[in-house]
Chain A
Amino acid sequence: MNWTDEGIILSVRAHGETAALVELFTRAHGRHLGLVHGGRSRKQRPVLQTGNHVDAAWKGRLPEHLGHMTLELRTGYAAQAMDDPLALNGLTALAALSRMLPERDPHPSLYEITLFVLGFLDDTTVWPALLVRWEMALLSELGFGLDLGACAATGSNDALVYVSPKSGRAVSASAGEPYRDKLLRLPEFLLEGRRAGVTEADVVDGLRLTRFFLETRVLRPRELDVPEPRLRLEAMLAADAARAD
């Protein structure tokens, strides 16, 4: 049994003295692990960095086996992000959260969005908003998608500015006003068809929104905490937004 695919490296663990256990998010085979012989060699170490885009060839006797992988670098996103603390936190948060996907279950549309986010990692004005959209897509792929089409209380799709933490549905400004302290803010750029300019404060609102649902729906039931890089990223962007005000 063997296949070839492309993927993004999510994690690398040392296995013995020379091999590495690599976890990939592949286009057609989903989140997949494999043993890379010589994965700790000088030649392989630059390739086996979290976030790198690689070509993978997997081989195993049976499909359910761990199998062996050989990897070849396509794009070194890790090296591109290393100098920028914000991008590095974004990259590692994205990789850590991708690990919530079920193993060997393909999510091709999320994979495409992931590559799209990584492609903009050198442009700080673009990728944080894309990361919020990516987290929305992740929630959706995991079965916890937010319903932002219409107000949960009135059914109208006008002036949707809140999200209910209980239902994950949008709430309009008028219906949500009495409960504004309990509701989560919905930045306009997440609404379909809205092309408003995205401010730093919008991105922070978006990250708070997705973090809440990732934490309560995905991580906490698995007894996991929000990954540290994700928390640091949000804190850094919030500090930037506060400075910009």
Chain B
Amino acid sequence: MSKKIAGPEIERLVQLLSRLPGLGPRSARKAALALIKRRVELLVPLASALADAVDKIVVCPDCGNVDTLSPCSICRDERRDRSLIVVVEEVGDLWALERASVINASYHVLGGHLSPLDGIGPDRLNIARLVERASAAHVTEVLLALNATVEGQSTAHYLTDQLSSCDVAVSRLAQGVPMGGELDYLDEGTLAAAIKSRKRM
């Protein structure tokens, strides 16, 4: 039986921290110790930031993004191209695209992908609102920025079918050789996709 080395409050802190991605029990203990040692500069502001987050974070009713504003900052941004909706699976994908600053459009977060294995059908995803948004007169294109996995592409085909009644062009991300990719290290699926979507020089 393992001996308890700290009070229940500290044990609970360690236990909760260890549930975070990237942290196991050992690193959670280290993080907890760091917080305790820097109580004023770190622990108190973190607790207050977490309390604020709990109170203020909401899911945007339009696009499914998370923010402290409703509608979210992206939906409120007047400078964005409203004619293009970029559909992503998760908020993390939206953040990745925003970090790259490669597109200045509006987004739609599905909240996952179709997965018969996990019992996730179309009714569990934010699809009805997407069709509603794509039906608006100012929308001309929907870009399906979904993962190049079996589940991601199954979802993309399903969405293409659902969007067929809307007067919009449906596109998807290109697939092929990544930046800095060397051909002899690529899998055959990626190579096949790259060959299929080759471009004239």
Q: What residue of chain B has the Cβ atom nearest to residue A10's Cβ? A: B117
Please, which residues of chain A bring their CB within 8 A of the CB of B122?
228
User: CA of A96 to CA of B189 in the docked complex: distance in angstroms?
Assistant: 22
B142-194 residues with Cβ-Cβ distance < 8 A to A are 148-151, 153-154, 157-158, 160-161, 187-190, 192-193
Cβ of A80 within 8 Å of any chain B Cβ, yes or no, is yes
B123 CB to nearest chain A CB (Å): 10
Contacts of A49 in B (CB 8 A): 149-150, 189
Query: Complex Cα distance A228/B120, Å?
Result: 10
Q: Is the CB of B148 within 8 A of A82?
A: yes
A88 to B149, CA, bound (A): 11
- Chain A residue contacts of B150, Cβ below 8 A: 49-51, 78, 81-82, 88, 91-92
CB distance B190 to A229 under 8 Å? no
Pair B153/A82 contact, Cβ less than 8 Å? yes
- Nearest-neighbour CB distance to chain B for A243, whole angstroms, equals 15
The digit string for A208-234, where 1 denotes a CB below 8 A from any CB of B, is 000000000000000000011100100
State in angstroms the CA–CA spacing of A82 and B196 once bound together. Answer: 12
Enumerate chain A residues within 8 angstroms of B161, measured Cβ to Cβ.
Answer: 85
Docked-complex contact A229 and B22, CB < 8 angstroms: no
Distance to closest chain B CB from A100 (angstroms)? 13
The answer, yes or no, to whether B21 is at the interface (CB within 8 Å) is: yes
By beta carbon, the residue of chain B nearest A81 is B150
CA of A235 to CA of B194, assembled, Å: 31
Q: Is A159 an interface residue (CB 8 A)?
A: no
A82 to B173, alpha carbons, bound, how many Å?
A: 13
Q: Judge if B25 is at the interface, Cβ distance under 8 Å.
A: no
Contact, CB under 8 Å: A47 / B187: yes
Known contacts A79-B192, A82-B153, A96 near B117 by CB under 8 Å: yes
Chain B neighbourhood of A96, CB < 8 A: 116-117
B114 at the interface (CB under 8 A from A): yes
Residue B45 lies at the interface, judged by CB distance under 8 Å to chain A: no
Determine if B121 is an interface residue (Cβ-Cβ < 8 Å): yes
Residues A73 and B188 in contact in the complex (CB < 8 Å), given A92-B116, A96-B116, A96-B117: yes
Docked CA distance A212–B146 (Å):
33
Indicate the size class of the contact surface on chain A. Answer: 20 to 34
Shortest B144–chain A CB gap in Å is 12
* Contact A228/B114 with A79-B190, A83-B196 known, Cβ cut-off 8 Å: yes
The total of Cβ contacts below 8 Å across the A-B interface reads: 64
Contact at A76–B21, with CB atoms within 8 Å?
Answer: no
Q: Knowing A47-B187, A76-B189, A79-B192 touch, does A88 contact B153 (C-beta < 8 A)? A: yes
B-chain residues with CB within 8 Å of residue A229 when the two chains form the complex:
116, 154
The chain B residue with its CB closest to the CB of A45 is: B149
Q: Which residues of A contact B196 (CB under 8 A)?
A: 83
Is B154 within 8 A of A88, CB to CB? Answer: yes
Q: Which residues of A lie under 8 Å from residue B154 when comparing CB positions?
A: 85, 88-89, 92, 229
Q: Provide the residues of chain B in CB contact with A81, threshold 8 Å.
A: 150
Q: Are B157 and A85 in contact (CB under 8 A)?
A: yes
Chain B residues near A80: list those with CB within 8 A.
Answer: 189, 192
B157 adjacent to A88 (CB under 8 Å): yes
- CB-CB under 8 A from A85, the residues of chain B are 154, 157, 160-161
- The one of B22, B148, B151 in contact with A17, judged by C-beta atoms closer than 8 angstroms, is B22
- Give complex CA distance A227, B22 in Å: 34
Q: A106 at the A/B interface (Cβ < 8 Å)?
A: no
The residues of B that contact A46 with a CB separation of less than 8 Å are 187, 189-190
| Closest A residue by C-beta to B120 | A228
Chain B residues with CB under 8 Å of chain A are 21-22, 114, 116-117, 121-122, 148-151, 153-154, 157-158, 160-161, 187-190, 192-193, 196
11 of the cross-chain contacts (CB-CB < 8 Å) are: A11-B117, A17-B22, A46-B189, A50-B151, A78-B189, A79-B188, A82-B153, A85-B157, A96-B117, A228-B114, A228-B121
Q: Top 10 closest A-B pairs, CB basis?
A: A79-B189, A85-B157, A46-B187, A76-B189, A50-B150, A227-B116, A82-B153, A76-B188, A78-B150, A228-B116
